[in-house]
């Protein structure tokens, strides 16, 4: 089965995670896909495939040779971003010949080259799109499809290979994907998350990441007699946001530049809430951004009274670079596999995070590979069928080349 065919079957499973939930996984619907993936792995012959009590899928493709070879893992996440709907996805394949793509004629939803100029890079390819009302979930169901297809290709080839570990995680999009990952049980020497973007991307530097939750406590009173009495929580919430640097936001930053991102705001007169994500590649700048949030909270509490602002900040993950650099052969092996399949590697910093970032700090070095998708977390998300197939070949080459090269010390 082709990687894109698998992908199209996976997108029929809604798997959006929920930051407000305290369950594991955060949404039960992720378990439905987990069970289906477990069945598929067993069907491929990975008899130890299982879904654990936290909704993680694990499986092993055993070594078929006596040579000492590094055990390699491949990991992707099952959940989709809460930033766009994944319910009733109407995915279709476009034979792309250039120009704008009408996603939804009735709603006049068009993916325009003027907005996404890199769309032109896909001329002559077949790309999967939605009807413009949902995402398609290439982040990260494309990665799952590519791993599954690579496993199938390895089995069918009959060529010598070492043990391969497979892991599919829930709740990556809300920063919890590695929370309950069984690194010891996974028992890989190193791994790759398959969770990146355009083909050729190879990433081992990511943001340091945190989430901030601000509760604003106000005082409500009739507007007609509110002078010097009302404390409008929503207005104060807006004031908090206005005190942050206006240019340090996603829409005004790129490359190694960090940002704060207001992901949600809600409330009324008595109560308001803001949720942010905080990101920076540089650890010192990351800590400074978090300190700035605390300084603003203190300033507003001095202005409006103690307890007006309640701030909580929790770190999600850190830059994996320091854990990968001592074992750069992991990157070199990925670069070689790309070149073997006619792909030029592009090492770029991740303006986001993957499960691999945290796993690297849990003892499993885990850089990130491309999926062939673009415009993640968006109604304009798309993925290339040809790229997905090539990436499955790259994963296959990583496994087979490792058998040829033998075990590397770590």
Q: Which of 79, 203, 205, 280 is catalytic?
A: 79
Rounded Cα distance, 399 and 65, in Å: 13
Residue 318 half-sphere exposure, CB side, CA atoms within 13 Å? 12
Cβ pair 349, 197 in contact under 8 A:
no
Paired residues of 342 in beta bridges: none
Q: Is 79 a catalytic residue?
A: yes
Dihedral sign of CA atoms 334, 336, 340, 343 in order? positive
Q: Which of 86, 172, 205, 374 is catalytic?
A: 172
Rounded Cα distance, 389 and 56, in Å: 25
- The DSSP line for 40-65 is HHHHTT-TT-EE-TTS-EEEEE---S
* H-assigned helices in 44-169: 138-157
Beta strands in 298-343, from DSSP E residues, in sequence order: 309-317
- Spatial neighbors of 66 by CB under 8 A, at least 6 apart, are none
Identify whether 319 is preceded by a cis peptide bond (ω within 30 of 0). no
Q: Is 18 a catalytic residue?
A: no
Cβ pair 79, 171 in contact under 8 A:
yes
Q: Cβ–Cβ contacts within 10 Å for residue 53, how many?
A: 7
Q: Cβ–Cβ contacts within 10 Å for residue 288, how many?
A: 12
247 to each of 27, 138, 304, how far by Cα in Å? 35, 30, 26
Annotated active-site positions, please? 79, 172
């Amino acid at each position: 089965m082709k990687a894109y065919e698998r992908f199209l079957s996976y997108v029929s499973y809604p798997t959006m995670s929920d930051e407000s939930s305290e369950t594991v996984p955060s949404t039960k619907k992720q378990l439905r896909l987990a069970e289906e993936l477990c069945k598929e792995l067993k069907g491929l012959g990975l008899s130890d495939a299982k879904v654990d009590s936290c909704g993680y899928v694990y499986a092993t493709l055993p070594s078929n040779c006596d040579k000492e070879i590094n055990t390699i893992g491949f990991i992707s996440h099952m959940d989709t971003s809460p930033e766009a709907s994944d319910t009733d996805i109407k995915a279709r394949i476009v034979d792309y010949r250039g120009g704008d793509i009408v996603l939804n004629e009735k709603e006049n939803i068009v993916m325009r080259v003027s907005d996404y100029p890199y769309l032109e890079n896909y001329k002559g390819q077949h790309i999967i799109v939605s009807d413009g009302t949902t995402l398609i979930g290439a982040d990260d169901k494309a990665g799952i499809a590519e791993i599954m297809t690579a496993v199938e290709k390895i089995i069918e080839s009959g060529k010598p290979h070492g043990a391969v570990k497979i892991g599919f995680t829930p709740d990556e999009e809300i920063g919890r994907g590695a929370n309950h990952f069984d690194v010891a049980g996974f028992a890989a020497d190193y791994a790759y998350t398959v969770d990146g973007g355009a083909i050729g991307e190879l990433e081992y530097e990511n943001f340091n990441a945190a989430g901030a939750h601000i509760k604003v406590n106000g005082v409500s009173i009739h507007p007609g007699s509110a002078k010097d009495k009302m404390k409008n929580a929503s207005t104060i919430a807006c004031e908090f946001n206005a005190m942050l640097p206006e240019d340090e936001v996603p829409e005004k930053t790129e490359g190694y530049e960090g940002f704060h991102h207001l992901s949600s705001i809600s409330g009324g007169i008595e109560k308001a809430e803001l949720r942010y994500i905080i990101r920076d590649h540089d650890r010192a700048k990351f800590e400074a951004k978090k300190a700035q949030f605390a300084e603003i909270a203190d300033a507003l509490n001095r202005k409006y009274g103690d307890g007006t602002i309640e701030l909580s900040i929790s770190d999600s993950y850190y830059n994996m670079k320091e854990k990968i650099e001592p074992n750069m052969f992991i990157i070199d092996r990925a670069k070689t596999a790309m070149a073997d399949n006619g792909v030029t590697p592009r090492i770029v910093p991740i303006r986001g995070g993957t499960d691999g970032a945290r796993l690297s700090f849990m003892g499993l070095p885990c850089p990130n590979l491309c999926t062939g998708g673009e415009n993640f977390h968006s109604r304009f998300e798309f993925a290339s069928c040809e790229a997905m197939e090539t990436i499955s070949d790259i994963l296959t080459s990583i496994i087979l080349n490792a058998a040829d090269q033998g075990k590397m010390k770590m």
